[in-house]
Every structure is written in structure tokens, then in C-alpha cells.
């Protein structure tokens, strides 16, 4: 004689289920062994992590067999947590009364866990090859600039920044950048490490405004082409850069990172966001065989991406170009400071609001409180419901005159 016990909701099949079920049933069969089988399992819930019915086949590796109990003994009760299951032998008791046996050893069924490997992350300074906890905030305070980045609701911060000051030993020459990644951090990280250097290489010996504009364009396109040749390419990045050289300011952008300058307290945008909703961008996309539509009020390319220019985005490269728009101007005494920021700020804070909040901290104190101004802008955007990564960089301009 043998019996079979069916245990429901085994943790082998659902990590969230309890170790044992509340009910169990005894099935008698004329087999030659006592079988504990998981073939009749029926999970209570259905989820992507739940197994298919095929996992409960009689060939399951979790099928356990025990030796047939001695003839004349009643099957011992099996204990499952706070409940027990007992069976009774058919027929009468053997002469001399019912013989008792010890309770069998409790059955320990291995609990299967779902493995998860945290994505590898890194910063613009050091590449980290092993998983680590992503920093929620990044800040940098310097005499020439300050920057503050705050992670949104994503598991990893996808914003990056770069700054190279004291170019060629001259404190009045520098280049800065803010990069807003999407679909992963790889593109933003790559741009932060390479874009400013590529632009500087292209600018060597260039003096004419048209030559400077073309040199910046080649720097962006070179960076984009190099990134697309990388292994496991995924995602993209919006970029905004600001070069200060010989008293001139050269601002370039691809995507919706924005540069805003305070001119005597009045906000002046030095860049224009590249989004599919712009008439010229939509026309360019549709002319090259793409389409633009809106979903929940957001215009997207091919129903996917909400920006129309940037580094990366290999699967949309025909329409998401890396060519920047560039603006060149001479720094004047009333040009007070420059704000470079990702759309995490600009989606919730207007250009003039940003200038009004930052200006008292940049100009109204003996020593400019640049980092505090960056934090106030980031906190304001977050308080208004921004769930995106937010990066803000402040650069005083009068120091470069």
C-alpha cells in the first residue's frame, strides 16, 4: 500500500508563496512506494515568474520517493507547519492493538529563489566593473562652476556632466557639459568622457565663426559615430555644452538639455529644445520616412522617443541625428551667469524662474553660493512632481571677460 501527498503553492514555483499550503489530501494507490509528488500543484496566482503547467509533470526533479512502510502499520501523520495529515489503514487492527511508530522526520523542501543581478553602473570619473549601489545625489563645488545632480525614480541615475577648466593653463578658457541619458546610462557616460575632448580637437586653429560652428558639429558627430561602434550599444543621450575661449561663449546642444543665461536678471535661452513637436524637426523626420505621433500629450518619433536629436539611439539613427545647433556670442559685463540643465529642471521650472531663484545666491553675497543655488533649483523641480533625473550646472560668466 502507498499514499501520495499533493502540496499546493510550493515555494519552488513561487518565491512569494508560503512554505506549505493550508490543505493536503491523501490519495491511495496500489504502488510499491510512498511518493511525495509535486505533479498536482496548482499555483494560486499567475505571474511571469510562475511556472507553466508543464513544470508540474510527473517527471519533475522534485518528485521524492520513500520506502514502502512495513505491512500492518498505519501511515504515520505527516506534519506541515501548524497542520497535520493522517491516514488510517483499511481493515481491522492487528492482534494486540494498533502498533505506533515515531513521527517521520520533517520534510525540508528547497525554496527556489529568483536570481537578480543589479545592473553595472559607473560614474564619469571611474568605471565600476562590479554591481554597486547607485548614488542618489552627486555634487561638485568649484570656484569656476558648481553642479548638483539628483536621481529620479529610476534605479540608476542616467545624467552625467563634464567640466574642463584652465585650458592650456588659461583660467579664462574652459568647456562644460550636461548629458541626459535615456534607455540606460552608457551614451551619457560616453559623451561625458569624449564629447568635450572631440570638440576641442576640432577647434584647434579655428577663428572664423562658421569654422567654429562646423568644428563643434564635427565634434558631436565624431562622438556619436564612435559610440555607435561600441559593443552592446543601447540607449542615447541629449547633450548641451558651453565653451569659453578668448572672451567668447560657444553653446551647442542636441536634444532637450538647455542653456539659459542671465542678462542683467533677464533670462535668455541660448539653445532650443529638439523635440518631435517642433515643426522643422517633425518635417525633417517625415521627409526621411519616419513618423511623429502623440501619446498622452507627448510627441514621439516612431511612437518611441520624445527627443529628435542626441548621441546614440542606434535603432532610430535615421531620424535622431547628432548634429547640434550652435550659438556664438561675446561675453558682455551684463552677462551674469549661465545655467546648463537637463529637462528634469526645465519641464517644471521656467527659464525666468530659474534665473530669479539663482541670481540672489550668485550675485547677492560676498562669495557666490553656486552649489546652494543649484540645489534650490533641483529641489523646486522635485517639489513640483518631477520624477526624472535632474542636473543643474551654474557658471559665472564675468570671470571669463
Mind listing the pLDDT tens digit for each residue in 99-111? 555 555 554 434 3
Question: Residue 261: pLDDT band by 50, 70, 90 thresholds?
Answer: very high
- Strand 34-37 to 2-6 pairing: parallel
Residue 122 pLDDT: 34
Burial of 165 (0-12, 13-18, 19+ CB in 10 A): middle
Q: What is the phi-psi region of residue 378: left when phi exceeds 0, alpha when psi lies from -120 to 50, beta otherwise?
A: alpha
Which residues fall within 8 angstroms of residue 387, CB to CB, at 6 or more apart? Answer: 152, 153
Rounded distance between C-alpha atoms, residue 4 and residue 31, angstroms: 10
**In this predicted structure, what is the pLDDT of residue 232?**
85
Task: Place 56 in a pLDDT band, splitting at 50, 70 and 90.
Answer: very low
The SS3 assignment for 399 reads: helix
The lowest-confidence range among 30-34, 177-181, 229-233 is 30-34
Share of the chain above pLDDT 70, in %: 67
171: which DSSP letter? T
C-alpha cell at 259: 542653456
Count of CA atoms in the C-beta half-sphere (13 A) of 353:
11
| Per-residue confidence (pLDDT) for residue 257, from 0 to 100 | 98
- pLDDT tens string 105-143: 554 434 333 332 223 333 333 232 233 345 789 999 998
More confident residue, 386 or 42: 386
Q: Report pLDDT digits (tens) over 339-352.
A: 999 999 999 999 99
User: What is the pLDDT confidence band of residue 355, given thresholds at 50, 70 and 90?
Assistant: very high
User: Residue 256 class from Cβ within 10 Å (0-12 exposed, 13-18 middle, 19+ buried)?
Assistant: buried
Mean of the pLDDT values across residues 15-29?
Answer: 40
109 and 102 in contact (C-beta within 8 Å)? no
N-terminal to C-terminal alpha carbon distance within the chain:
98
Domain boundaries along the sequence of the chain: 1-116, 137-274+309-400
0.75 surpassed by pTM: no
Are the C-beta atoms of 263 and 336 separated by less than 8 Å? Answer: yes
- Give the CATH number of domain 137-274+309-400; options: 3.60.40.10, 3.30.413.10, 3.90.1150.10, 3.40.50.920: 3.60.40.10
What are 64-88's pLDDT values in tens digits? 444 444 444 444 443 333 333 344 4
| Beta carbons of 269 and 351 less than 8 angstroms apart | yes
- Kind of pairing, strands 137-141 and 146-150? antiparallel
- Rounded to 5 degrees, what are φ and ψ at 210? -65, -35
Q: List, as one string, the DSSP characters of 283-320.
A: HHHHHTT--EEEETTEEEETTTBS-SB-EE-GGGTTTS
Grade residue 31 by pLDDT with cuts at 50, 70 and 90. very low
pLDDT higher than 70, residue 170: yes
What are the grid coordinates assigned to 127, written together? 568605471
Rounded to whole angstroms, the Cα distance separating 151 from 130 reads 20
pLDDT greater at residue 265 or residue 136: 265
pLDDT over threshold 90, residue 43? no
Give backbone dihedrals phi and psi of 342, rounded to 5 degrees, phi first.
-80, 170
Where does the pLDDT of residue 32 fall: very low under 50, low under 70, confident under 90, or very high at 90 and above? Answer: very low
Task: Say if residues 324 and 253 touch (Cβ distance below 8 Å).
Answer: yes
Amino acid at each position: 500500500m502507498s499514499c501520495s501527498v499533493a502540496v499546493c503553492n510550493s515555494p519552488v514555483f513561487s518565491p512569494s508563496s508560503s512554505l506549505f499550503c493550508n490543505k493536503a489530501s491523501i490519495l491511495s494507490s496500489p504502488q510499491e512506494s510512498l511518493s511525495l509528488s509535486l505533479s498536482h500543484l496548482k499555483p494560486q496566482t499567475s505571474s511571469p515568474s510562475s511556472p507553466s503547467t508543464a513544470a508540474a509533470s510527473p517527471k519533475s526533479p522534485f518528485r521524492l520517493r520513500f520506502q514502502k512502510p512495513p505491512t500492518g502499520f498505519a501511515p504515520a501523520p505527516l506534519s506541515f507547519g501548524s497542520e497535520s495529515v493522517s491516514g488510517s489503514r483499511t481493515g481491522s487492527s492487528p492482534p494486540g492493538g494498533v502498533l505506533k511508530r515515531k513521527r517521520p522526520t520533517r520534510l525540508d523542501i528547497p525554496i527556489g529563489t529568483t536570481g537578480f543581478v543589479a545592473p553595472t553602473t559607473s560614474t564619469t570619473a571611474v568605471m565600476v566593473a562590479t554591481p554597486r549601489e547607485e548614488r542618489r545625489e552627486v555634487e561638485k563645488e568649484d570656484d569656476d562652476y558648481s553642479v548638483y545632480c539628483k536621481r529620479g525614480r529610476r534605479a540608476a541615475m542616467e545624467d552625467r556632466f563634464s567640466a574642463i577648466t584652465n585650458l592650456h593653463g588659461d583660467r579664462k578658457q574652459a568647456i562644460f557639459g550636461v548629458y541626459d541619458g535615456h534607455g540606460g546610462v552608457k551614451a551619457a557616460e560616453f559623451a561625458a568622457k569624449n564629447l568635450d575632448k572631440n570638440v576641442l580637437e576640432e577647434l584647434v586653429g579655428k577663428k572664423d565663426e562658421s569654422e567654429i560652428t562646423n568644428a563643434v558639429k564635427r565634434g558631436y558627430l565624431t562622438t556619436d559615430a564612435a559610440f555607435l561602434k561600441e559593443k552592446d550599444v543601447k540607449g542615447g543621450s541629449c547633450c548641451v555644452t558651453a565653451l569659453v575661449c578668448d572672451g567668447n561663449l560657444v553653446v551647442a546642444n542636441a536634444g532637450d538639455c538647455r542653456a539659459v543665461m542671465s542678462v542683467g536678471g533677464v533670462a535668455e535661452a541660448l539653445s532650443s529644445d529638439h523635440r518631435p513637436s517642433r515643426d522643422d524637426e517633425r518635417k525633417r523626420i517625415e521627409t526621411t520616412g519616419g513618423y511623429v505621433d502623440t501619446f498622452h500629450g507627448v510627441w514621439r518619433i516612431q511612437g518611441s522617443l520624445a527627443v529628435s536629436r542626441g548621441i546614440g539611439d542606434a535603432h532610430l539613427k535615421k531620424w535622431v541625428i547628432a548634429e547640434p545647433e550652435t550659438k556664438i556670442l561675446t561675453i558682455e559685463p551684463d552677462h551674469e551667469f549661465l545655467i546648463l540643465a537637463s529637462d528634469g529642471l526645465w519641464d517644471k521650472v521656467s527659464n525666468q524662474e530659474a534665473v530669479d531663484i539663482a541670481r540672489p545666491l550668485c550675485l547677492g553675497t560676498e562669495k557666490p553660493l553656486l552649489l546652494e543655488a543649484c540645489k534650490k533649483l533641483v529641489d523646486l523641480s522635485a517639489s513640483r512632481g518631477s520624477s526624472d533625473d535632474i542636473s543643474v550646472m551654474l557658471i559665472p560668466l564675468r570671470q571669463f571677460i
